[in-house]
Chains A and B, each alone.
Chain A
């Protein structure tokens, strides 16, 4: 597939930052496209994983952080498992997501970053995830109030979702971890 790069691309590529955050050497990628062949969402995304790798090589910058695949990627790691050069493609995707959040890339469909925040917030507060609080925060923030609403009565009846917040977790250590990793400029 021909890759077209706009002349007015950002002045600075993000290859170096991605390699630093992920600890992965991307230079060994020779575009065999095994990652894309096995990727469960490559047919739904505009830019499949192998093309993301190539665009990084070609010096693309922050515009790459708006790619839809970043938040369609299911972190199944099939790409990493099958790469003949042992590139951890999934770690590259994590690094790109981290940069996308830090640099305020466009909000993706479904707002996965908001979901992740809502999930982690309950962990930070309770030491374990708390589905009802997470779902409420995500629904309010994303405006997807009616999604899955018809399943709620059945799930409650089946006690498939806990009403009370989790108890017994070592909340102190978990809060310490969140505080520390936020201060560190969010880790790496």
Chain B
């Protein structure tokens, strides 16, 4: 299994742990990931809030490099995944956009690179059975709230990821690892994404509701697959405690960190020390299960 792999800018900064755990898990499961040379930023929310062509041309600059590699593209960051998918869709369905993007990038691109989220590769290409067989530890006895956020599932006719209102990919992985995947109502609520710095008040309100609901559902931890979701749900718990007095102390882990622990990979290779809310309870429970 060989894929082109787009780490995304946060993999070099706030989400180094997502990147590290992705590489460690891929290695353990025989997935070969190759970074496209010279990959560039997808533009994120700031891109599409600013200009439609800029928002498509930025991901296209990387997609055209991947096209040359002749491989499918795997993305773990939900935001990058979303921008890559939208760019492909816009280019493939709108000739005018395709022309303008070709002019901006300096090369024509047809929107044909297959973009897949790491969760899709884990479930469809590796498969739950193979994952189960590779486990050294398990999530037995652990209740996990899977949080998908917005950008994996929306717009669903473009991303085609899972069920847009009640997705189950993360839950299926949690179950494969022996954990209890909680039914809870905030799977696809928004954490506030890129407004974390500019409208911290909005993000604190939204994350308070999400983490509060996970806690109410009895979650021992929250599993995510997006650097914005992770940092908002994790770091903003400090602000929720300060401004609203609600103390949750609920660890928020990347699914690749949970999977890495279950595959017997050492915590330091999974970047677990980077979490703001300590995952010590989770690590201990997995080791004991």
Which of under 10, 10 to 19, 20 to 34, or 35 or more describes the interface residues of A?
35 or more
Task: Answer yes or no: B131 CB below 8 A from chain A CBs.
Answer: no
Task: Answer yes or no: A84 CB below 8 A from chain B CBs.
Answer: no
Contact A78 B154 (CB under 8 A): yes
Contact A119 B46 (CB under 8 A): yes
A96 to chain B, nearest CB (A): 10
B residues within 8 A CB of A21?
52
Within 8 A of B (CB), among A163-185: 166, 168-171, 173-174, 176-178, 180-181, 184
Quick check: which of B118-126, B193-201, B213-221, B246-254 contacts chain A, the rest being far away?
B193-201
A residues within 8 A CB of B41?
123, 127-129, 169, 174
Contact A174 B197 (CB under 8 A): no
B residues within 8 A CB of A176?
104-106
Contact A169 B154 (CB under 8 A): no
Size of the B side of the interface (Cβ < 8 Å), in residues, is 60
B residues within 8 A CB of A181?
51, 53-54, 57, 104
* Interface flags, B177-203, vs A, CB<8A=1, else 0: 000000000001110111101111110
Bound-state Cα–Cα, A148 to B200, Å: 9
Do most interface residues of chain A lie in helix, strand or loop, or is the interface mixed? Answer: helix
Across the interface, A173 reaches (CB within 8 A) one of B14, B40, B154, B155, namely B40
B residues within 8 A CB of A109?
199
Task: Answer yes or no: A75 CB below 8 A from chain B CBs.
Answer: yes
Contact A147 B197 (CB under 8 A): yes
Highest count of chain B CB atoms <10 Å: which of A138, A159, A169, A187: A187
* Interface flags, B37-67, vs A, CB<8A=1, else 0: 1111101111111111110011001000100
B20 to chain A, nearest CB (A): 11
A20 to chain B, nearest CB (A): 11
Bound-state Cα–Cα, A130 to B13, Å: 8
Contact A111 B105 (CB under 8 A): no
Contact B52 A94 (CB under 8 A): yes
A residues within 8 A CB of B197?
115, 135, 138, 147-148
Task: Answer yes or no: A154 CB below 8 A from chain B CBs.
Answer: yes
A residues within 8 A CB of B153?
81
Q: Can you list 6 A-B pairs with a CB-CB distance of less than 8 A?
A: A128-B12, A129-B44, A138-B198, A173-B38, A174-B58, A177-B57
Known: A138-B198, A180-B104. 4 other contacts (CB 8 A): A41-B202, A76-B190, A119-B46, A186-B53
Interface set of A (CB-CB < 8 Å, partner B): 21, 23, 40-41, 44, 71-72, 74-78, 80-81, 88, 90, 94, 97-98, 101, 109-112, 114-117, 119-120, 123, 127-131, 135, 138, 142, 147-148, 151, 154-155, 158-162, 166, 168-171, 173-174, 176-178, 180-181, 184, 186-188
